[in-house]
Amino acid sequence: MDSKQVQAIAPARWEARRWWAGIGAAEVMLLLVAAVWGGSYAVAKQATQQLPVMEFIALRFGLTFVVLLPALRPLFNARWRQGLAVGGLLGANLLAIFVCETFGVSLTTASNAAFLISLCVALTPFVEWWLLGQRPAQRIFWAAGLSAVGAAMLSATSPANIAVGWGDALMVLAAFLRAVMVCMTRRLAGHHTMPALTLTAVQSGVMALGAMAISLLASNGAWHMPPATASFWWGMAYLVLLCTVFALFAQNHAASRSSPSRASLLMGSEPVFGALIAVYGFGETVGVWGWAGGLLIVAAAWWVTMPQKLEARPRIP
């Protein structure tokens, strides 16, 4: 191979290495979270048809807390109060997110829910600027807008199909709270020494107790036994083990190792996975308009993982 061929091949190899440089374990975990959460809407919608929303949330996160009891050991040290304070604050925020999401998905369509929750992608750069005082790079704003447009296309077969109702409004609020959650996790990462799994256990306990208290107050002490159907408990297992234990651990682990805007953009690919699961798992159909929107979301998610500044290419002697 002569020197001209080497000079022609080397830039391509350099670009490939630069392209992969922004992809790490944190980004892969966030994409897995998006895939798992993509299938949660249909499962949660079916479960809330068999059990009241607040009781469903209390059961889901109560089981999660029981599963994660062994992870609480690091909490018993001299800084346990600080750990509980951080976990309690993040748990309260997460409870608000899941209350809005669960009520929202029960009052709107799964496609609208997937689109509207993905607005956290567009909202996060502004929340990051507001809470952390860090103005994101210009391309983050462009990628956020691209992702939001793609999610809108994915959720509707035509631009006129998106309708706004109470369920939609709750999903918008949940999207904003998700953006706040990502930024708060980043901001509080240096104020505690808890492992990600321990933080997830504390959050789950706070959410279970909070949802139980709200449910008992709202129903004057009434409580329902969960259904004994296999479909309900298979769905609950999916939501507890994958959508909660794994997903919250992965989010807590990765959010402190990646920028809030990048984290939200990667998890913003959730509607794409949701569409794939709906098509191949539940027999739904997604038109050309929807798939085009899905490609925009994926493009935005991958774009933001690219290194921000081009490095100088090495010279070939």
How much is the pLDDT for 108? 76
How much is the pLDDT for 15? 45
* Among 121, 125, 146, residue whose Cα is nearest residue 134: 125
The pair of three-digit structure tokens given for residue 269, joined into one six-digit string: 């690919």
How much is the pLDDT for 316? 40
Is a pLDDT exceeding 90 seen at residue 233? yes
How much is the pLDDT for 105? 82
How much is the pLDDT for 24? 67
Q: What is the pTM of this model?
A: 0.71
Q: At what angle do helices 166-188 and 247-255 cross, to 10 degrees?
A: 50
How much is the pLDDT for 22? 54
- 169 burial class (0-12, 13-18, 19+ CB within 10 angstroms)? middle
* Euclidean distance between CA atoms 309 and 141, whole angstroms: 16
* Among 310, 276, 306, 311, residue whose Cα is nearest residue 23: 306
Cβ neighbours, 10 Å, residue 271 = 33
- Residue-wise burial string across 223-260, b where 16 or more C-beta atoms lie within 10 A, e elsewhere: eeeeeeeeebeebbebbbebbbbbbbbbbbbbbbbbbb
How much is the pLDDT for 177? 92
Cβ neighbours, 10 Å, residue 145 = 14
**pLDDT tens figures, 27-83:** 777 778 888 888 887 788 788 888 998 999 999 999 999 998 888 887 776 566 777
**pLDDT tens figures, 117-168:** 777 777 888 888 888 787 877 888 888 888 788 777 766 655 555 555 678 7
How much is the pLDDT for 311? 40
> 173 or 304, which is more confident?
173
**pLDDT tens figures, 78-129:** 566 777 778 788 889 989 998 998 888 888 776 667 777 777 777 888 888 8
Average pLDDT of the chain? 76
Mean pLDDT for the stretch of residues 281-306? 73
| Range of lowest pLDDT (6-10, 108-112, 164-168, 262-266) | 6-10
**pLDDT tens figures, 38-47:** 888 778 878 8
* Euclidean distance between CA atoms 212 and 112, whole angstroms: 28
Is a pLDDT exceeding 80 seen at residue 181? yes
Is a pLDDT exceeding 90 seen at residue 245? no
* Euclidean distance between CA atoms 316 and 5, whole angstroms: 11
* Euclidean distance between CA atoms 261 and 255, whole angstroms: 10
How much is the pLDDT for 6? 46
Q: At what angle do helices 247-255 and 196-218 cross, to 10 degrees?
A: 120
3-state helix, strand and coil shares in percent for the chain, rounded to the nearest 5 = 80, 0, 20
Contacts of 280 (CB under 8 A, 6+ apart): none
> 234 or 292, which is more confident?
234
